[in-house]
Amino acid sequence: MGFGRPSRLGAGARVVGALAYEAEVTLTERHLGLVTAGEGGLTDDKRTRLADLIERSVDLDGLLELAAPVRVLRQNVTAEAPQASRARIGVAHDAAFCFYYRDNLALLREAGAELVYWSPLTDTALPVVDGLYLGGGYPELHASALGANKAVRNAVRVFADEGRPIYAECGGLMYLAEALEDLDGRMHPMVGLLPATVRMRPRRLSLSYTEVTLRADSPLGPSGTVARGHEFHFSSLDPVPESVGRAYRLRRRRGDERDEGYQIGNALLSYVHLHFASNPRMATSFVEACHR
């Protein structure tokens, strides 16, 4: 396509190109979105094809001209140099656990954490760490392997029983539950810290921005701490016994509220993906809890 006089739309918007649909560069989808980058969804061949499509379809000189004056600012995230290591935090990271806000990891480092990556799927033991961070992902697709890795499941349970800090969100909560029923209705044992079963049937989409207020002191901060995040999951959790403490008061975008954030000893489990940049003190609090 050729580029002549720049087209304009609306309040000064300038069109620099458009990408036509090409099947060769589409990314595979499944429930909750795309096949993750770690699973090879974006291959070298697709990258090459996509680059060629962009070069053919977009006025790159015009795009760079428009982008030149833009200054990228990091709001709410401190720019201070990282502190000396105060605690080692084991971050679960593999095909089953791969959904993390980069800001969260950056803020943990800036608060003095040394991040140690490990795999609940394939490792045979926990790394030597002071705390654990279990993020989101697709544990339902790897439930059989997670359940079969009894050594690591037991190690995580012992870690929790010893009172060492654990923060688990969404997929991490699913892993710390009693059991996980997968998409085919098969039941798989999980860590067993949270006395309830997670089920993938029937699918119920939960999708919302969420504000969290801590109702009790926790590894993420004292009572009264406020932060924001989101929920995005198809799984559902069987009723949790009232004897399990609820550390969160959740307020969703539409105004409905409920108690959540299951606290068992020094472990905090929730379906909410918190964005630590909404309250960077949460990262500091977690590192301090691990340091203690």
> Looking only at Cα atoms, what is the longest distance across the chain?
69
Taking the C-alpha atoms of residue 182 and residue 199, their distance in angstroms, rounded to an integer, is 7
Residue given tokens 């929730």 in the structure block: 270
Q: 254 near 242, Cβ under 8 Å? A: no
Secondary structure of residue 176 in the 3-state scheme: helix
Q: 165 near 131, Cβ under 8 Å? A: yes
Bond from prior residue into 120 cis (ω within 30 degrees of 0):
no
**Which tokens hold the place of 268?**
């905090």
Please give the angle made by the CA atoms of 278, 279 and 283, to the nearest 5 degrees.
120
Active site residue 170: yes
Taking the C-alpha atoms of residue 275 and residue 281, their distance in angstroms, rounded to an integer, is 11
Catalytic residue of the set 87, 134, 156, 170: 170
Taking the C-alpha atoms of residue 248 and residue 136, their distance in angstroms, rounded to an integer, is 18
Residue 181: phi, psi to the nearest 5?
A: -90, 120
Which amino acids are annotated catalytic?
Answer: 170
